[in-house]
Amino acid sequence: MKTAQISRRSFIKELGFLGALLFLPLNYRDAVIRPPGAGKDFLSRCIRCGQCIEACPYDSIMALDITAGALAHTPYINPLKTPCYLCQQRGPDGKDRPISKYLRCGEACPTGAIRKILNNKEVLAKVPEEMKMGVSVLNRDICLAWKYDSCGECYYNCPLKDKALRDRPPGELLEDITGIRPYVDQRYCIGCGMCNYVCPVKRHIAKSYMDRTIKLTYFEERYAAMVRNLIGAAGESVKLPAIRVVLRP
Ligand code: SF4
Ligand code: SF4
Ligand code: SF4
């Protein structure tokens, strides 16, 4: 009897999950990056309370809006806007935050939809599976390092530098090259989105040449001419930036 009740309950949960997928607009189906610790059962556990959003000290988490249908109000991370800072001390504003025992989003979640992960460098260095939000993919054809021997911002900013993001792909002979040649080792990338965030190969930089209302930062100006050349040659349909987080297959 108990087994029957449990299986009925899990059947209803599965049904809820499938229902959510059916009502999910196409552009959300393979693109939603969840906070670290969100497991396969995330959708059936998340009650849309927003406590993870409130708890994130870096404002990395947002809620999907009503255009997401059944997924409205569930938390997600848009690395183009703000990546996950893994609750480390220094934030994007240059100010320090107190280090919490667990990653704050999982600590605040009342249902276990986002699991608790200890917040320390040893845990991060082991790259636990439950921490993986997605994985980065690099398009060498529009990468400033591969094309112009410039940049390397993704490599320098990756929290798992020399592990998830390496300088030079193993086994490729790159003689007489001095600059960085980024390579993502997908076994270790957690999909935090920092590389995605800092990569300057972005559409608004290319557009700023024609649209004078777009103001570039000093950082963006440094790369603007090269970015325009690369994006112009690649065409409108190219996916940007040159390194971006996608869901794991
Ligand atoms: S791990 Fe920390 S920085 Fe990342 S989403 Fe969770 S609360 Fe925000
Ligand atoms: S998403 Fe980018 S910055 Fe984050 S671990 Fe992966 S390669 Fe590094
Ligand atoms: S930040 Fe972007 S353009 Fe720069 S090296 Fe990395 S992928 Fe290439």
**To test the ligand 2 pocket, which listed residue (33, 77, 129, 160) has its Cβ within 8 A of the most ligand atoms?**
160
Q: Which residue has the higher pLDDT, 236 or 30?
A: 236
Which residues form the domain of 8?
2-131
* Arithmetic mean of pLDDT over the chain: 87
167 neighbors 179 (Cβ within 8 angstroms): no
Last residue of a domain, one of 91, 114, 131: 131
81-100 mean pLDDT: 83
Ligand 3 atom nearest to CA at 241? 2
Same domain, 175 and 210: yes
Q: In terms of domains, do 105 and 198 share one?
A: no
Pairing of strands 61-63, 75-77: antiparallel
Q: Same structural domain for residues 119 and 144?
A: no
Check whether 198 has a pLDDT greater than 60.
yes
Ligand 3 pocket residues where CB is under 6 Å: 138, 143-145, 151-154, 182, 198-199, 201, 241-243
Paired residues of 33 in beta bridges: 77
The atom of ligand 2 lying closest to the CA of 79 is 1
Closest residue (by CA) to atom 2 of ligand 3? 199
Lowest mean pLDDT among 22-26, 108-112, 145-149, 242-246: 22-26
For residue 5, the CA-to-ligand 2 centroid distance in Å is 42
Residues 6, 126, single domain; the answer is yes
Query: Both 88 and 150 in a single domain?
Result: no
> Of 131, 157, 180, which one is at a domain's C-terminal end?
131
Q: Which amino acid is at 219?
A: F
Q: Which of 149, 161, 232, 211 is nearest to 190 (CA)?
A: 161
With pLDDT > 70 as the criterion, what percentage of the chain qualifies? 87
Confidence grade of residue 171 (pLDDT, cut at 50, 70, 90): confident
Atom of ligand 2 nearest to the CA of 193: 1
Same domain, 150 and 50: no
- The pLDDT score that the predictor gives to residue 173 is 78
Mean pLDDT of 27-50: 87
- Ligand 1, atom 8: nearest CA belongs to which residue? 56
Same domain? 76 vs 90: yes
Is 126 in the same domain as 145?
no
For residues 86 and 205, membership in a common domain is answered with no
User: Ligand 3 center to residue 115 CA distance, Å?
Assistant: 32
β 61-63/135-138 pair status: unpaired
Ligand 3 centroid, distance to 146 Cα (angstroms): 8
| Nearest by Cα to 194 from 203, 182, 206, 204 | 182
DSSP one-letter string for the chain: -HHHHHHHHHHHHHHHHHHHHHTS-HHHHTT-BPPTTB-TTHHHH-----HHHHH-TT--EEE--GGGGGGTT-EEE-TTT----TT-SB-TTS-B-PPPSB-HHHHH-SSSSB---B-SHHHHHH--GGG---EEEE-GGG-HHHHHS---HHHHH-TTBTTTEEES-TT---TT--S--EEE-TTT-----HHHHH----HHHHHTTT-TTPPPPHHHHHHHHHHHHHHHHH-TT--SSSEEEE---
Q: Which of 131, 160, 180 is the last residue of a domain?
A: 131
CA separation for the pair 135, 82 (Å, rounded): 16
Domain count, the chain: 2
